[in-house]
Amino acid sequence: MHKAGFVNIFGKPNAGKSTLLNAIIGEKLAIISPKVQTTRHRITGVVTEPGFQIVFSDTPGIIDPKYRLHEKMMGAVKSALEDADVALLIMDAKDDLSENLELFDSLRLKAPCILVVNKTDLLKKEELDDLLARCNAWGKAKMVIPISALKQTGTKEMISKIVELLPEGEPFYPEDTLTDKSMRFLVAEMIREKIFQLFEEEIPYHTAVVVSQFEEKATLTKITAEIIVTRDTQKGIILGEKGQSIKKLGTLARTEIEKFIERKVFLELFVKVRGKWRDSDLYLKEYGY
Ligand code: GDP
Ligand code: K
Ligand code: MG
């Protein structure tokens, strides 16, 4: 009997959803940062083993929308709620339990769910035992599983529990599939991650990245990307004095992309100002949201 299904990861910003997806897939598909609202799309990662295939989806953290961009982000959460065969409800073990349970209740899930308590590496044993007891008392999850996505503990057990809950079915993707996202998308995300790393305050939240050229040459891959911001001052900050900042960004991003595609990369970055891209359906579409 073969099992296959969609397992979607839900939780508050910074619970560790993207870290968990990457830990499961063993590749860096989803960008990670300590800042909220880093993930803007639904990103899938496919695990194929003898007997089962699981299509995981990372989703943006659940927030109240303030921009059209946020509405699109919550649209990604909504579609993930609807097609889940199993829902992984993930929380930060250090975070307030009742607040998380209230959020999970509000999702009105139809699919069976697993409550995943992440970041257990940050808790003492007694603290964890107490927390798990309170999690089990919630009563709405098929099971409660402690993990550390960062240290990669508990994830194997989690997978075997998921398989128990999966429906019977044939695989959805060929067995060597890792993700449904294109290389262009993943590269744009890697550049965005470095922007989250290098620039403070509002800059990452006002930025989109679009890969306009991705060409495999004989000895290297040539990539051109546009960094879209909302103001001239932001463009100035990203460029930096004498272009120092964008140079640093380019080097960091290129190193990361080279690791991922295992080829030499020539990366060219341009910065464009598009005043209200986060509220423009036209631009949101053009930038992949
Ligand atoms: P997301 O917003 O839910 O996708 O969360 P991320 O995966 O981006 O992670 C948010 C922050 O939590 C990052 O700084 C991660 O390194 C950190 N983090 C994720 N999982 C763990 C964990 O198991 N233990 C610890 N200590 N930190 C974690
Ligand atoms: K984050
Ligand atoms: Mg994320």
Q: Give residue 160's pLDDT.
A: 95
Q: 50 in ligand 1 pocket by Cβ < 6 Å?
A: no
| Residue in the block written with tokens 């009105």 | 108
Among 165, 122, 166, 167, which residue's Cα sits nearest to residue 143? 165
- Please tell me whether residue 175 adopts helix, strand or coil conformation: coil
| DSSP letters spanning 91-141 | EETTS-HHHHHHHHHHT---S-EEEEEE-GGGS-HHHHHHHHHHHHHH--S
* Complex ipTM tops 0.90: yes
Question: 3-state SS string over 17-71?
Answer: HHHHHHHHHCCCCCCCCCCCCCCCCCEEEEEEECCEEEEEEECCCCCCCCCHHHH
Domains of the chain with CATH codes: 3-165 (3.40.50.300), 183-286 (3.30.300.20)
* Ion ligand 3 — residues with CB < 5 Å: 17-18, 39
Q: Tell me what pLDDT residue 105 has.
A: 92
**What pLDDT score was predicted for residue 229?**
97
12, 14, 57, 128: residue to mutate for ligand 1 pocket, most atoms within 8 A of CB: 14
Distance from Cα 258 to the centre of ligand 3, integer Å: 22
Confidence (pTM): 0.89
- Asked if residue 175 has its Cβ within 6 Å of ligand 1, the reply is no
Ligand 1 atom 19: residue of nearest CA: 16
As to burial, measured by CB atoms within 10 angstroms (0-12 exposed, 13-18 middle, 19+ buried), residue 176 is exposed
CA 37 to centroid of ligand 3, rounded, Å: 7
Ligand 3 centre and the CA of 15: distance in Å? 8
Backbone φ and ψ of 266, nearest 5°: -105, 115
For a mutational test of ligand 1's pocket, the pick from 9, 22, 32, 33, i.e. the residue with the most ligand atoms closer than 8 A to its C-beta, is 32
Report the pLDDT value the prediction gives residue 64, as an integer from 0 to 100: 79
The pLDDT, as a whole number, for residue 200 is 87
**Residue 63: per-residue pLDDT:** 82
Binding residues for GTP: 11-18, 58-62, 118-121
**pLDDT for 261:** 87
Which pair of structure tokens corresponds to residue 39?
A: 């993930």
C-beta separation of 223 from 267 below 8 A: yes
- Give rounded-to-5 percent helix, strand, coil for the chain: 40, 25, 35
Token pair in block for residue 58: 């990372």
153 close to 126: Cβ distance less than 8 angstroms: no
pLDDT of residue 155: 95
- Distance (Å) from CA 70 to ligand 3 centroid: 14
Residues of the chain with pLDDT under 70: none
Indicate if ligand 1 lies below 6 Å from the C-beta of 69: no
Predicted local confidence at residue 17, as pLDDT: 96
